[in-house]
Amino acid sequence: MKVMGIGNASREHAIAEALERSKHHPMIFWLAEIRNPGIFEICKRSGGEFALSKTTAPEKVASHAEKWGVDFVIVGPEEPNFHGVPDELERRGIPCVGASRDVAMIEMSKAEMRRLQWEYGIKGKLLFKTFRSSQEAYTVLERYSDTLTWLQNIALKPARQAGGKGVKVVEDQQLYLHDEKQRFKSKHADWLEGYMKSYSDIDDKILVEEKVWGPEYTLQCFADGNCIKGMPLVQDNKHAHEFDIGTETGGMGSISGPGFTLPFITKEEYQESLEIVRALVKAIQDKTGKIYHGVVAGQMMLTEIEGPTIIEMYSRFGDPEALNVLGLLKTDFVDVCLAIIDGRLSKLDIEFDDKATVVKAIAPKGYPDNRDLAKNHLVSVDEQVIRQENCKLYWGSASLSEGGEILSAGSRLVEILAMSDDIQRASRIVDKCVPYVKLLDGWGLFYRSDIGSHELLSKRIDIADRVRRLYQYRRSKGILGKRIDWLPRVGKMDPVALLKDELSKSKEGG
């Protein structure tokens, strides 16, 4: 059997490794934009090949798959999905585990995802409004923020998935800071407009959502068009520095288990989150007439207003979240892929180890704000010691030269995974491995020792308890999901008012 994968990062290294573990012993072929040392080695060992290529060019990717005569392709990152790589592969009769362009819209357009959620009445939704320019955004925020209270505390985001960047939260509750905060909103809206100029594939540029608060978690699922099976929950930690300080990154580390829930998410919340993801996939299939086959994930938050709530969707595994679940997967991953392709997921029993996992990313200083500083440092890793500690190292933003040297490429360099009976133990095991990753020119590396620590876990549990008490109270009073609709001196307001034209956009789109 021959299998081809696409993508550069640690998530793709974990996918390649899960394929390599299969009893089918596939020959593994890979396309990526940098030579990831781990994936390169797996391809060589399995008798396959590794090639450098643009991974968002459907014709190029499909031609490689044809040339290599692969049985199926698995897509790692989101951009190939957004560019229609799975569609072109299938047009040529090559099966693909990856969301086709139309259904991947639930990740690509955060605005379309929200419209779909409101149109189909899917739980866990937020009030939102989209804009095509910063001027339009600013005018609306100025005009309505006295009467529609949700506009006072907002998240300002790019309307498209844009590498996880550009989200700013503004809480405008202190009157004496109101003008300052309006200026900040306007400045960020300008920045978003500029940032979104490089994306011409959607009309919406800026998304404003009501601000919510609570612990986040990722629910990744396999989907074959008929059946959606959930994996163990994972919590990613996005901030660059300890205790959630600093710029948001692609993810500095993640925790899971033991089992399918997290220490701060209940079985019922897991089940509700799964129903939300299922409903969204069903809705996008209904809307587009296309089948969703591949991996889908809800990046969720437990909120006081709605309980389990969708923040964003992924049309792929998360990174680092993929490492947690693929590390635990007991069922043969090739069998899972074949079941997705053949629409047999409901018949396959997918099992995971009952352990806790912790992943920590190590990145060169400069990441994420000044990636040029994080590039081109010679890397040395003692993989043998890391293996002896019962950890696995996955190469990320690292490039293997023809001469066999490894250079940092500007983002998360490696991710280290440990499994144990509980999260805190797994976290300490990873910490022991960190000194074995070095940059030979002396440039600094950083990571988050707090991920999986007692202190951070206690903080997450406390927050979840508080949020849970509030949303359960709201549920008991029949006001879950209800927003303020009466204001002193203003009278009855419709908090959904601004959504009306959004929902008609959704109908036009359909």
- Residues with Cβ < 8 Å from 281, sequence gap 6 or more? 103, 106, 223, 228, 292, 296
Q: What are phi and psi of 146, to 5 degrees?
A: -80, -30
Residues numbered 183 to 242 that lie near ligand GLY (CB under 6 A) are 236
Q: How near is the Cβ of 220 to ligand GLY at its closest, in Å?
A: 10
Q: With contacts defined by CB under 6 A, name the span among 191-199, 261-269, 315-323, 334-342 that binds ligand GLY.
A: 315-323
Residue 79 binds ligand GLY (CB under 6 A): no
Q: How near is the Cβ of 321 to ligand GLY at its closest, in Å?
A: 6
DSSP letter string over 70-119? Answer: -SEEEE-SSHHHHTTHHHHHHHTT--EES--TTTTHHHHBHHHHHHHHHH
Q: At what angle do helices 267-288 and 110-119 cross, to 10 degrees?
A: 100
Q: How near is the Cβ of 250 to ligand GLY at its closest, in Å?
A: 6
Identity of the residue numbered 216: E
Residue 86 binds ligand GLY (CB under 6 A): no
* Cβ proximity to ligand GLY, 334 vs 409, nearer residue: 409
The correct pick among 76, 98, 257, 318 for binding ligand GLY (CB under 6 A) is: 318
Q: With contacts defined by CB under 6 A, name the span among 68-76, 314-322, 328-336, 368-376 that binds ligand GLY.
A: 314-322
Q: With contacts defined by CB under 6 A, name the span among 141-149, 188-196, 313-321, 492-500 that binds ligand GLY.
A: 313-321
DSSP letter string over 272-305? Answer: HHHHHHHHHHHHHHHHH----EEEEEEEEEEETT
How far is it, in rounded angstroms, from Cα 83 to Cα 304? 37
* Cβ proximity to ligand GLY, 237 vs 453, nearer residue: 237
* Cβ proximity to ligand GLY, 298 vs 364, nearer residue: 298
Helix%, strand%, coil% for the chain, nearest 5 = 40, 25, 35
Q: How near is the Cβ of 320 to ligand GLY at its closest, in Å?
A: 6
Residue 5 binds ligand GLY (CB under 6 A): no
Site string for ligand GLY, 233-272 (x = CB under 6 A): ---x-------------xx---------------------
Residue 166 binds ligand GLY (CB under 6 A): no
Residue 307 binds ligand GLY (CB under 6 A): no
Q: How near is the Cβ of 411 to ligand GLY at its closest, in Å?
A: 12
- Number of residues interacting with ligand GLY: please give it, by CB under 6 A: 7
* Cβ proximity to ligand GLY, 95 vs 410, nearer residue: 410
Is the backbone peptide bond immediately before 320 cis, with ω within 30 degrees of 0?
yes
What torsion, rounded to 10 degrees, do the Cα atoms 264, 363, 380, 50 define?
90
Site string for ligand GLY, 319-358 (x = CB under 6 A): x-x-------------------------------------
Q: How many CA atoms lie within 13 A of 200 on its CB side?
A: 0
Residues numbered 146 to 165 that lie near ligand GLY (CB under 6 A) are 164
- Whole-angstrom CA distances from 223 to 120, 277, 311 are 20, 10, 20
How far is it, in rounded angstroms, from Cα 167 to Cα 355? 33
Task: Give the closest residue to 130 by CA, choosing from 211, 189, 201, 213.
Answer: 189
**Which run of H or of E encompasses 507?**
helix 499-509
Give the bridge partners for 158, in sequence order: 206
* Cβ proximity to ligand GLY, 11 vs 185, nearer residue: 11
* Cβ proximity to ligand GLY, 189 vs 233, nearer residue: 233
* Cβ proximity to ligand GLY, 72 vs 317, nearer residue: 317
* Cβ proximity to ligand GLY, 162 vs 493, nearer residue: 162
Cα-Cα-Cα-Cα dihedral sign, residues 104, 108, 112, 118 = positive
Give the bridge partners for 381, in sequence order: 437
Q: Which residues bind ligand GLY (CB under 6 A)?
A: 164, 236, 250-251, 318-319, 321
